[in-house]
Structure 1
């Protein structure tokens, strides 16, 4: 007899408290259930059930075997569900967390195409500039930029972005361009206000030395687009990713403050909770993003 069927018959008898109810649960005859259990006991060489005219209960050995058997049966059920899920069309609610700057400028414009391709998926995209806990906060995935802090998450790289110091031609005409990193102390700097490290810019000198610039900003704001607008208007120098400033630079609205500095790159990743398989809706969206950003970055946006 099939070992898994024997285990299922035995576990169902324990769950239902008897052969009659177990037979109804499994949709087979009472005698068939009895044969499966008897075969299992014979194969194991142990009595797993105490049988009386009134009730059926597991023996001490039977109870220990039940715990393991139930795990096996649950795993088998999950395996079946996995195959079904992997073959089913992507559907359901997809909750995404993404940084405001990238979400507004690049993810939002792409969503219409994705939703047209997958009409059974609904998207709830949350834009914020804080680190979110995917599992505890109920997100299916996130798009993150830079070094990944949580190594337990699964990640797939989408593309890269560079970071440069930029300001308007009018600002440079009035204040000049910094010639070396130390010159930034004499300039008006525009900072993100939500960085945990404070007003610190991490730069690479022409020598390859890693430098940290700590100086008070003339303006601090928790939104990259606002910093870009401030830089365009001539308020100072901002340190921004290329996906945010590239269009303005192409139009001549801003210039590179120190073009001789090595160009630092940051990865842009789709991250999602660990697990034995990826939900079809998550897999579909990540595949879509990989295709969407295949020809973008690190500087060309």
Structure 2
């Protein structure tokens, strides 16, 4: 006989308190339930049930076996449900966390296309500039730019972005152009206030040496678009990703502050909680984003 069926028959007898109710629960005859349990006891070489004319109860060994058997049966049920879910059409609420700059400029414009393709999915996109805890805060996934700090999360790379110092030509006409990293001490820097490191820029010198620049600036704000606007307005030098500045540079509104410096390359990732499988709604959205950003970055935005 099938081992899992024997196990299910025994566990159902314990749950229902007897063979008659167990048979009704399983949709089979009482004699079939009895045969399954007897076969299980014979195979194990142990009596699992105390049988009297009034009631059926597990023996001490039977109770211990029941605890393990119930776990196995629950896991089997979840496995069946998993296969069904993975083959079903993506649906349900998808909660996504994304940095404001990237979300407004590059995610919001394509959401309509995604929702049109998957009408059974609803999206709750949270735009913020803080590092959210996916599981504890109830997010299905997040879009993150730069190094991934939490190695326990699963991640899929969507594209890349450059990050470099840019300013308006009018700014350099008024204040001169820096030729090396140390020259930044004499310039007005536009800082992003949400960086964990504070007003510090991590740069790479032409020699490959890693440098940190900590200089007070004329503006500190927690929004990249505002920094971009300030740079275009000639207020100072900003250190921004290419997905923000690329269009302004193509129009000649901004230029590279120190062209000789290596450009920093940062990955853009979809991250989601670890697990043995990916929910269909999450998988569908990530596949959609991979296709959307296939020809984007690091400079072409």
Q: CA deviation at 1:217?
A: 1.5
Q: Which residue of 2 aligns with 1:214?
A: 214
Q: Which residue of 1 aligns with 2:51?
A: 51
Alignment of 1:244-259 (within 5 A): 244-259=244-259
Q: CA deviation at 1:75?
A: 1.4
Q: CA deviation at 1:32?
A: 1.2
Cα distance in 2 for residues equivalent to 1:24 and 1:56: 16
1:261 aligns with 2:261: yes
Alignment of 1:29-108 (within 5 A): 29-108=29-108
Cα distance in 1 for residues equivalent to 2:37 and 2:254: 78
Q: CA deviation at 1:216?
A: 1.0
Q: TM-score, with normalisation over the residues of structure 1?
A: 0.99
Q: Which residue of 1 aligns with 2:184?
A: 184
Q: Which runs of 4+ in 1 moved over 6 A?
A: none
Q: Which residue of 1 aligns with 2:116?
A: 116
Cα distance in 2 for residues equivalent to 1:227 and 1:54: 80
1:274 aligns with 2:268: no
Q: Which residue of 1 aligns with 2:152?
A: 152
Q: CA deviation at 1:175?
A: 0.6
Q: Which residue of 1 aligns with 2:234?
A: 234
Q: CA deviation at 1:231?
A: 0.3
For 1:182, what is the secondary structure of its paired residue? helix
Q: CA deviation at 1:31?
A: 1.4
Cα distance in 2 for residues equivalent to 1:167 and 1:16: 75
Q: CA deviation at 1:27?
A: 1.1
Q: Which residue of 2 aligns with 1:300?
A: 300
1:224 aligns with 2:221: no
Q: Which residue of 2 aligns with 1:198?
A: 198
Write out per-residue CA displacement over residues 12-59 of structure 1, whole angstroms, 9 at most, x where no aligned residue: 111112112211111111111111101100111100111122221111
Unaligned runs of 5+ in 1: none
Q: CA deviation at 1:197?
A: 0.8
Q: Aligned pairs, how many?
A: 301
Cα distance in 2 for residues equivalent to 1:106 and 1:280: 23
For 2:24, what is the secondary structure of its paired residue? helix
For 1:163, what is the secondary structure of its paired residue? strand
Cα distance in 2 for residues equivalent to 1:90 and 1:236: 47
Q: TM-score, with normalisation over the residues of structure 2?
A: 0.99
Cα distance in 2 for residues equivalent to 1:101 and 1:269: 15
